[in-house]
């Protein structure tokens, strides 16, 4: 959801990618995540589940900032990121683990998207002069505190 939301809000200023630590083979994005994004007017075109190992390869896109978002990922050792990008962690409960009926699960995805959007709206509206490597990292880490 963060990949799609940043690409939506960034309007070409940023290029976001998303990956997980251990996606299953042929895993697809969660249908509730896709539905939540669509209902929010965010494109889901081209979204796929992939391993973060894809972004540690020599031919991977260069990352300026890597933000982990899932609470479960916070304690894992991240792979080496070529170019040593700035890093931050924005912890969110995994909405796919929400307990209850369909309405409760949908609400968990909506709430998570709202929290992601709030932080990303601040981030994408930073002045260009604030986007040095150290400023990006500090700002991304500061946004994790709210």
* Tens digits of residue pLDDT in 73-123: 556 667 777 788 888 888 888 898 899 999 999 999 999 999 999 999 998
* Average of per-residue pLDDT across 5-18: 93
CATH number of 2-143: 3.40.50.2300
Domain boundaries, the chain: 2-143
Helix (H, G, I), strand (E, B) or coil at 13: coil
- 17, 64 in Cβ contact below 8 A? no
Cβ atoms of 95 and 105 closer than 8 Å? yes
Question: What does the pLDDT look like over 32-80, one tens digit per residue?
Answer: 999 999 999 999 999 999 988 888 788 888 888 888 887 665 566 677 7
* pLDDT attached to residue 74: 53
- φ, ψ for residue 66, nearest 5 deg: -120, 120
Q: Count CA within 13 A, CB hemisphere, residue 120.
A: 24
Res. 6 pLDDT band, cuts 50 70 90: very high
């Amino acid at each position: 959801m963060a990949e799609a939301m940043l690409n939506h809000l960034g309007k070409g200023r940023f290029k976001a990618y998303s990956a997980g630590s251990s996606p299953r083979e042929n895993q697809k994005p969660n249908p509730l995540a896709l539905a939540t994004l669509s209902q929010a007017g965010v494109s889901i075109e081209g979204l796929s589940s992939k391993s973060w190992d894809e972004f540690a390869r020599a031919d991977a896109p260069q990352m300026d900032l890597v933000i982990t978002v899932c609470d479960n990922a916070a304690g894992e050792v991240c792979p080496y990121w070529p170019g040593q990008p700035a890093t931050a962690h924005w912890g969110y409960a995994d909405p796919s683990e929400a307990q209850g009926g369909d309405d409760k699960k949908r609400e968990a995805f909506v709430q998570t998207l709202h929290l992601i959007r709030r932080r990303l709206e601040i981030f994408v509206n930073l002045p260009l002069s604030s986007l040095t490597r150290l400023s990006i990292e500090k700002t991304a880490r500061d946004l994790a505190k709210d």
